[in-house]
DNA sequence: GACATCTTTCTACAGATGTAGTATATTTTC
DNA sequence: GAAAATATACTACATCTGTAGAAAGATGTC
């Protein structure tokens, strides 16, 4: 299931707390892009049409909830980026992790640990 | 500069060898998506309009070349994915690198080395 | 119960994208 | 130099995206 950039933002807000109303979702988004209420509703409707969010009515108001797993969704998005953008090369990813200072010390250590672990297990040469 | 998925494929082919003609670019693309010649031309024209590729005519034929740096382009695409899709979390990236077996032993070792290095330098706690 | 306030549902619309066909200009090949 | 093969420039068109307004229905508030 392919999501657009704006849709990812909605999904990310929704994954943080659900079920949620459109209004709540707007509040939940850190990056306040100043979307009109109906803009968010439109996107929710589209997401529901795609089957990635569920919509449930209580009284007059719709409550939304994700129907897809966050990490699988992210994984497949990464998969696509990896193939299309990075052309299957890992170097840019490693550089990104390391040089763009996205890693805290803790994360760095965790990553090293994971790498050692996977090395030990001899996964894929 | 924002590129679409199809445009990334063209760019990746072009970065591999340039200057190149439309015909050559088609040949250069590993994933043969069966695009019509004119489809590729259309995309090249659009890319030129965006200013990311240069077009130079020799005789009747246009030769194209990238005008943007591959790694900067990739970096900024990753930046966007990181913000919009991953919502600023690194965990999915680490998992992707490790669990999706994208790393060869060599790459894994290289990555560990890079991590140690960056640790030593104490970049961003 | 009339008015203000939300919500929902529909409709809209411009620009981006994927995908190419056509007509025309050029070059190559006998 | 006429026919065949190429390349270019234009045009086209359905979808997807971002963005929302308007109309109509439901609720809250005195």
d(CA A42, CA A49): 10
* A97 contacts B90 by C-beta, under 8 angstroms: yes
Which of A105, A100, A12 is CA-nearest to residue A53? Answer: A12
- The answer to whether residues A59 and A9 belong to one domain is yes
Radius of gyration of chain A (CA): 18
Question: Does any domain span residue A125?
Answer: no
What tokens does B76 get? 């900024």
Q: Is the pLDDT of residue B125 over 60?
A: no
**Given pLDDT bands bounded at 50, 70 and 90, which one contains residue A33?**
confident
Which residues in chain A are contacts of B80 at CB distance < 8 A?
5
Q: How far is the CA of B60 from the C1' of C25 (A)?
A: 9
Does A111 lie at the interface with B, CB-CB under 8 angstroms?
A: yes
CB proximity B52–strand C (7 Å threshold): no
pLDDT in tens, A62-106: 999 999 999 999 999 999 999 999 999 999 999 999 887 668 889
Whether A10 maps to a domain, the answer reads yes
In this prediction, residue B122 carries a pLDDT of: 60
Residue with nearest Cα to nucleotide D10 C1': B42
This model of the complex carries an ipTM of 0.90
Is A115 among the domain residues? Answer: yes
Paired tokens of A120: 């030990």
Q: What is the DSSP string of B12-38?
A: HHHHHS-SB-HHHHHHH-SS-----HH
**Is B125 within the bounds of a domain?**
no
- Please give the mean pLDDT across all residues of chain A: 91
Q: What is the span of the domain harbouring residue B80?
A: 70-120
- Give yes or no: residues B47 and B79 share one domain: no
Query: Where does a domain end: A21, A46, A66?
Result: A66
Q: Are A75 and B96 inside 8 Å of each other by CB?
A: yes
Q: Give the per-residue pLDDT at A44.
A: 98
Identify the pLDDT of residue A2: 95
Residue A52 per-residue DSSP state: S
Q: Are residues B81 and B34 in the same domain?
A: no
CA A52, CA B106: separation in Å to the nearest integer? 38
Judged against a pLDDT cut of 80, whether residue B119 lies above it is answered with no
Same domain, A10 and A26: yes
Residues B53 and B80 in one domain: no
B123 pLDDT more than 70? no
**Domain annotation covers residue B102:** yes
- Per-residue flag: B60 CB under 7 A of strand C: yes
- Last residue of one domain, picked from the residues B66, B91, B111: B66
A28 and A44 Cβ atoms separated by less than 8 Å? no
Judged by a CB distance cut-off of 8 A, whether residue A87 touches chain B is: yes
Choice among A110-114, B16-20, B50-54 with the minimum mean pLDDT: A110-114
**CB A98 to CB B118 under 8 A?**
yes
Tokens of B49: 């309009």
Is the pLDDT score of B108 beyond 80?
yes
Q: How far, in Å, CA of A98 to CA of A29, rounded?
A: 27
A33 and A16 part of one domain:
yes
- How many domains is chain A built from? 2
Residue B57, in any domain of the structure: yes
A93 and B96 in contact by Cβ < 8 A?
yes
For chain B, the farthest-separated pair of C-alpha atoms sits apart, in whole angstroms, at 57
Query: Do B21 and B48 belong together in one domain?
Result: yes
pLDDT, tens digit (0-9, with 9 covering 90-100), for B45-82: 999 999 999 999 999 999 999 999 999 999 999 999 99
Same structural domain, A40 and A77: no
Check if the beta carbon of residue A119 is closer than 8 Å to that of residue B101: no
CATH number (domain holding residue B12):
1.10.10.10
Say whether residue B105 is in contact with chain A using an 8 A CB cutoff.
yes
The verdict on A37 and A13 lying in the same domain is yes
Q: Nearest by CB to A90, which of B9, B102, B115? A: B102
For residue B39, being part of any structural domain is answered with: yes
Per the model's pLDDT, the better-predicted residue between B105 and B125 turns out to be B105
Q: What is the mean pLDDT of chain B?
A: 91
Both B15 and B40 in one domain: the answer is yes
Residue B102 and residue B60 share a domain: no
Cross-strand partners of A20: A64
- B81 shares a domain with B33: no
In a domain, B9, yes or no: yes
């Amino acid at each position: 299931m392919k999501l657009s950039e704006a849709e990812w933002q909605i999904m990310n807000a929704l994954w943080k707390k659900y079920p949620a109303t459109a209004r709540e979702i707007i509040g939940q988004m850190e990056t306040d892009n100043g979307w009109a209420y109906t803009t968010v509703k439109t996107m929710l409707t589209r997401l529901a049409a795609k089957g990635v969010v569920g919509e449930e009515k209580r009284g007059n108001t719709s409550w939304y909830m994700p129907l897809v797993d966050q990490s699988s969704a992210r994984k497949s998005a990464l998969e696509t980026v990896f193939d299309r953008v990075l052309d299957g090369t890992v170097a840019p990813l490693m550089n990104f992790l390391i040089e763009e200072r996205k890693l805290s010390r803790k994360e760095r250590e965790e990553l090293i640990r994971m790498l050692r672990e996977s090395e030990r297990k001899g996964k894929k040469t």
